[in-house]
Amino acid sequence: MNYKTARFTTSAVGLDDCPADSLREVAFAGRSNAGKSSAINALTNQNRLARTSKTPGRTQLINFFEIGEHRYLVDLPGYGYAQVPLSVKGQWEEHLNLYLNQRDALAGLVLLTDVRHAFKDFDIMMIDWSHQSNMPVHVLLTKADKLTRGAAQNALLGARRQLAQYPNVSLQLFSSMTRFGIPELEATLDRWMALPAQSAEAPSTT
């Protein structure tokens, strides 16, 4: 897949607003300060494709970016730290739950967490959900440029030990700033975006 051709398609409030023609999509999830939008921009080599902000929690909708052939990258609302009322957070959680559990086109989840303090409670909750749903997860330990090479490798080894009980989880170091780890991420996405031969035709939108 050529991720550099990604273009914004639509923002969805909930499941009913998601693109009807999607054959495969991969969702990016993480805490509001984990560098989720920056990672999407680095992957697509487009500085302003996904909105970034110094104010955590700016992404409040499910944003779809088409990469061709009825495939999409999906930017999910960041969790935690968002300066919004609890009632709005509750709505986000409800829509997110429906998307993760009922979106047939969802092929995998990229979970982003800061390598310096990875795996807060909600991260583990997302991994647990994915394990129960047999949904593959690829963890990006972001901001690896903030650590020395040795410290980053130690953090990666520690993260692997922590998640050893989850066979559906893979991990890697990543830096949007230096673009470190993009080929490895692309290889994972390519596997998830692939379709069985019998599923090669796009679903009807009528």
For 13-72, how does the pLDDT look when each residue is reduced to its tens digit (9 = 90+)? 888 899 999 999 999 998 878 888 899 999 999 988 887 544 444 456 889 999 999 999
pLDDT of 96 reads 78
- Residue 203 domain-assigned? no
- Residue 205 domain-assigned? no
pLDDT of 122 reads 82
- Residue 49 domain-assigned? yes
Report residue 81's pLDDT band, with 50, 70 and 90 as the boundaries.
Answer: very low
pLDDT at 204 over 70: no
Number of domains into which the chain is organized: 1
pLDDT of 85 reads 56
- Residue 97 domain-assigned? yes
For 101-151, how does the pLDDT look when each residue is reduced to its tens digit (9 = 90+)? 899 999 999 999 999 988 988 889 889 989 988 999 999 999 999 999 999
For 1-12, how does the pLDDT look when each residue is reduced to its tens digit (9 = 90+)? 999 999 999 998
pLDDT of 199 reads 45
Work out the percent of the chain whose per-residue pLDDT is above 90. 60
- Residue 183 domain-assigned? yes
Residue 93 or residue 154, greater confidence: 154
CATH number of the domain to which 35 belongs? 3.40.50.300
Structural domain containing residue 169: 3-195
- Residue 201 domain-assigned? no
pLDDT at 206 over 50: no
- Residue 89 domain-assigned? yes
- Strand 169-173 with 137-142, pairing: parallel
- Residue 206 domain-assigned? no
